Structure 1
Amino acid sequence: MSAMTTAELRGYQQICGDEGAMMVIACDQRGGMRQVLAATPEEQAKISNETLGLTKADIARHLASAAGGVLVDPICAVPMIVDEWLLPKNTGLLIGLDASGWDTSPEGYRLSKLVEGVDARRVRELGGTGGKIMIYLRMDTPAANTQNLEILKSCIEDFAREDLLLVVEFLTYRLEGESKEGYEARLPYLIQDGCRACLDLGSKVLKIPYPGSPEACAEVTRICGSTPWAVLSAGVDHSTFLGQVEAAMSNGASGVIAGRSLWKDCISLDRAETEKKLTTIAVPRLKELQAIIRKYYRPAYRKAA
C-alpha cells in the first residue's frame, strides 16, 4: 500500500467532515447534469457551461458548505466558484480530471478521456485541494484496461511529483452482449479486482461503486488495508443509497462521495426553485448520510511516523 505524504494527508483531511470521514458533494457531471436539467437532447445542448457552473455553485453553497468538500469539473465550475467567493473558505475543493463521456474501442471497450491541459499543476493553480480521476475498468477482460491503466499510472505519477492529493475512481460496465444478470453476478469481483489494480499503481484514496453487499464491502476493506475508500452514489435514489452507505460504513468504508442521489431531484434552470429544493430536500438528505457516517465511522488511516 502507498502511504500518503504529509501534504497529501493534509489535503485528505480537508475533504473530510468533523468526524474524520470523507463527505464530498460530487457535482463534476456535465452531460449527466444537462440530462437532469432538460428532457431532450436539443434542450440539453442549449444549456451553456456558464449555466452549469452556476448550478454547481448553488450546490456547493447549500450542500458542500455543510460537508467536507465539493468535487467539480475544470470546465464549468472553476475558477469561477473561487474567484467569485462562491465556495465557503473551509470547504475542500476536488477538481475532476476526466472529460465527459468516453471513447469506444473497435472491440466495444470504454476508453477513458481526460480534460485537455488539466494536470496536477493546473489543479493547484485553480485552487484545488486535490484532484480526482475516473477510469473505466473490466478486470476480467485485460485488453479492455490497457489504455485506461496507462492513463491512471501517468496521473498518479504526475500528482506524486506535485505532492498533491489524488482521489482515484473507477467504474465498471457491461460488455457488448453481456446479460444484465451475468454482469450483476460478476460485479463484486470486478470491483474488488479493480481496487487491487488501482492500489498496485499507487492509488492512495479510492472512490468506488457500491460493491453489492455488506460482505463484498468487508472484502474491499480487507483488500484496501489502510487505504481509505469512499462509496459513490451512481445516481440511485436516496433511500437506496442510504442502505448502501450503511452497509459500506459498517464494513470499513471511510466515507461518501455523493452527487445525484442528493441533488438530482432538486436542480432546475430556475435558480430560485433550485435554492428552495436544495434547502428543503437535499440538505435533510445530507444530514441523514452524515448520521450514518457518524454512527459507523472508525478511523482507519493513520500516517506512519
Structure 2
Amino acid sequence: MNELTTLERRGMASISTPEGNMLIVAGDQRNGMKAVMTDAPDGPGSVTFEQLADAKADLVRYLGNYAPAILLDPEVALPKIVDDATLSRNTALVVGMDASGFEETGGLRYTRYVDGVTPRVVRDLGGDVAKMLFYMRPDKQGADSRVAEEIREIVKACSSEGLLLIVEILTYKLDGESDEDYKAGFGKLIADSARISVECGAKVLKLPYPGSAEACTAVTGAAQGVPWAVLSAGVDHETFIEQVRTAVANGASGAMAGRSLWKDSMAVSAETREDLLTNRALPRLKELAVAVNS
C-alpha cells in the first residue's frame, strides 16, 4: 500500500464523512454542466461563462456545502467561489487539474492539464486536495507506458507540495471494438487500471463502477489497500445508490457524485436552481451519505 503522509492524511480526512468514507460532490464539469441547463432560451450552447459561474456558485451554496467536500474546476468556479466566501469553511475543496476533452495518439486517449495549473496553483486556489483524470487501456498500456509515467510525475509533484492527489481513471472503447466486447472486459479493465495506478504511486483512486460485486472485489484486490471511490458516470440517482451500496460492501471507500445528484436540477434561472437543488438534489446527497456509510 502507498502510505499517506501526515499532510495527506489531513487531506483525506477533509473529504471524508465522520465515519471515514469519502463523499464528494463533483462540480468540475464545464460543457457537461451547460448541457443540462436546458431552460436557456437559445439552448444549452448559449449559456455564457457568467451564467455557468453563477450556476456553479449555487451548486456549492445549496448542495456542496452539505457534503464533506466538493470538486471544482479552476477555469470557471475558482478562485471566485473561495474569495467571495460561497464555499463553507466546513467543506473541503478538491481542485480538478484536468482540462476538458482529450488528445488522441495512436488510437489511445490522453488528458491535458488546465493551462498553468500545478500543485502549487491548487494550493493558491485554496485547494485541500487535487484531482487529475487519466484515460487508460491497461490491455494496451503497462507500467512503462506514457500514461503510467504521467501518473508518476503528478503523484511526485503533489507529494512534494504536501497535497493529496485523487487519481481518476476512465477507460474507453478502442476503434473497431464492439460494445459487447468492451462491456465483457470492462471489469477487468478497471481492476487492471487500478493496479497500474497503484504501481505508479497513486494513493487514492476515483473509478467507474466495474459492473458487479465480484468486479468490485477484484478492484479492491488490485488496489492493494489504496482507497477507491466509485464515480457516478452520469447514471440516474437510483442506479448509483445501488452501485455505491454494492461497491462499499465489496471494498470501496466512498463515492464521488456529480450528474446523478444535480443533472436535473441545474438551470439558467437562479430561482429554479435554488428550488431544485434544495428540494431534489440535496435529499439525494443525504441518501448517498447513508449508502456510503452503510
* TM-score, normalisation: structure 1: 0.92
Q: Give the distance between the partners of 2:23 and 2:61, measured in 1 at CA.
A: 15
What is the match of residue 148 of structure 2? 149
What is the match of residue 55 of structure 1? 55
Q: Give the distance between the partners of 1:290 and 1:278, measured in 2 at CA.
A: 16
Shift of residue 38, structure 1, vs aligned partner: 4.2
Q: Give the conservation status (yes or no) of the 8 Å contact 1:111–1:147.
A: no
Q: Give the distance between the partners of 1:8 and 1:51, measured in 2 at CA.
A: 35
What is the match of residue 28 of structure 1? 28
| Matches for 1:47-196 after TM superposition, within 5 Å | 47-105=47-105, 107-142=106-141, 146-196=145-195
SS at the partner of 2:230? strand
What is the match of residue 224 of structure 2? 225
Q: Give the conservation status (yes or no) of the 8 Å contact 1:3–1:204.
A: yes
Q: Give the distance between the partners of 1:49 and 1:38, measured in 2 at CA.
A: 16
Once the two structures are overlaid, the 10-residue window that deviates more, 235-244 or 60-69, is 60-69
Shift of residue 152, structure 1, vs aligned partner: 1.8
Gaps of 5+ in 2: none
Q: Give the distance between the partners of 1:150 and 1:48, measured in 2 at CA.
A: 37
SS at the partner of 1:257? strand
RMSD (Å) for aligned C-alpha atoms? 1.8
Once the two structures are overlaid, the 10-residue window that deviates more, 189-198 or 54-63, is 54-63
Q: Give the distance between the partners of 1:294 and 1:56, measured in 2 at CA.
A: 27
Q: Give the distance between the partners of 1:48 and 1:149, measured in 2 at CA.
A: 36
Once the two structures are overlaid, the 10-residue window that deviates more, 71-80 or 223-232, is 223-232
| Matches for 1:199-214 after TM superposition, within 5 Å | 199-214=198-213
Shift of residue 220, structure 1, vs aligned partner: 1.3
SS at the partner of 2:36? helix
Q: Give the distance between the partners of 2:147 and 2:30, measured in 1 at CA.
A: 21
What is the match of residue 198 of structure 1? 197
SS at the partner of 2:280? helix
Gaps of 5+ in 1: 296-305
Shift of residue 91, structure 1, vs aligned partner: 0.3
What is the match of residue 7 of structure 1? 7
Q: Give the distance between the partners of 1:168 and 1:67, measured in 2 at CA.
A: 20
Change over 3 Å in CA distance of 1:147–1:54 after alignment to 2: farther
Q: Give the conservation status (yes or no) of the 8 Å contact 1:233–1:261.
A: yes
Shift of residue 148, structure 1, vs aligned partner: 2.6
Superposed CA offset, 1:33-53 (max 9, x none): 12112499x844432333222
Query: How many residues get paired?
Result: 293
Q: Give the conservation status (yes or no) of the 8 Å contact 1:49–1:75.
A: no
What is the match of residue 303 of structure 1? none
What is the match of residue 271 of structure 2? 272
Q: Give the conservation status (yes or no) of the 8 Å contact 1:132–1:168.
A: yes
Q: Give the distance between the partners of 1:172 and 1:51, measured in 2 at CA.
A: 32
SS at the partner of 1:37? coil
Q: Give the distance between the partners of 2:36 and 2:275, measured in 1 at CA.
A: 17
Q: Percentage identity across aligned positions? A: 45
What is the match of residue 258 of structure 2? 259
Q: Give the distance between the partners of 2:51 and 2:155, measured in 1 at CA.
A: 32
